[in-house]
């Protein structure tokens, strides 16, 4: 009668595998525990490749549109308040605004307009015109400074500058 033989191949002990690997690769140190984990992973999954990690979910197009719509409808509202109203975290709101190249600014009026300001602006314009008539190179040879505010004829001030 012929017998049936079953051969079971035993992996080498983890200690000898770790020692052999460390001898062949002296710049890397592998522990017995690491070898044991790899063997167990191979037995369970048939591979030693790591499982795919889920990671953080990205921003949905719906959330992005919601944030941009809220900012467009009320651009002067704070990020914190707008985020609370649409129900998204403040950090999400800031990420969307940063990705869309929105930059926060705070309006600050530094100068008050007085009644005689328009007269002084007119006087400056007339003086400048006279200087240009007398000397065509006046602008090239002289440096003039002014503040960055833009004034309109109606008296409004461009506050963003």
Residue 124 has pLDDT above 80, yes or no: yes
Strand pairing report for 157-158 and 150-151: antiparallel
- What is the C-alpha separation between 109 and 30, in angstroms, rounded? 66
Q: What is the pLDDT of residues 135-157, one digit of tens each?
A: 888 888 876 766 565 656 666 66
From the list 95, 65, 63, 101, the residue with the least C-alpha distance to 79 is 95
The residues spanned by each domain of the chain are 1-49, 61-99, 117-158
- What is the C-alpha separation between 35 and 15, in angstroms, rounded? 8
Name the burial class of residue 70, with classes exposed (0-12), middle (13-18) and buried (19+) by CB atoms within 10 angstroms of its CB.
Answer: buried
11 pLDDT band (50/70/90 cuts)?
low
Reduced to 3 states (helix: H, G, I; strand: E, B; else coil), residue 57 is coil
What are the residues whose beta carbons fall under 8 Å from the beta carbon of 19, sequence distance 6 or more? none
Q: What is the pLDDT of residues 70-98, one digit of tens each?
A: 989 988 888 999 999 999 999 999 999 99
| pLDDT the model gives residue 160 | 58
User: Could you tell me if 123 and 79 are in contact, meaning their C-beta atoms sit under 8 angstroms apart?
Assistant: no
What are the residues whose beta carbons fall under 8 Å from the beta carbon of 147, sequence distance 6 or more? 111
């Amino acid at each position: 009668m012929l017998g049936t033989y079953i051969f079971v191949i035993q992996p080498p002990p983890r200690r000898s595998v770790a020692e052999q690997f460390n001898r062949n690769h002296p710049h890397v140190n592998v522990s017995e525990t690491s070898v044991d984990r790899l063997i167990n992973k191979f037995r369970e999954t048939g591979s030693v490749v790591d499982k795919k990690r889920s990671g953080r979910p990205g921003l949905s197009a719906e959330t992005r549109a919601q944030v941009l719509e809220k900012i467009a409808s009320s651009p002067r509202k704070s990020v914190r308040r707008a985020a609370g109203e649409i129900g998204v975290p403040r950090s999400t709101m800031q990420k969307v605004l940063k990705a869309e190249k929105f930059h926060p600014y705070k309006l600050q009026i530094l100068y008050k307009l007085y009644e005689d300001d328009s007269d002084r602006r007119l006087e400056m314009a007339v003086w400048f015109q006279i200087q240009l008539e007398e000397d065509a190179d006046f602008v090239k040879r002289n440096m003039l400074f002014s503040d960055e505010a833009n004034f309109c004829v109606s008296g409004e001030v461009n506050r963003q500058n």
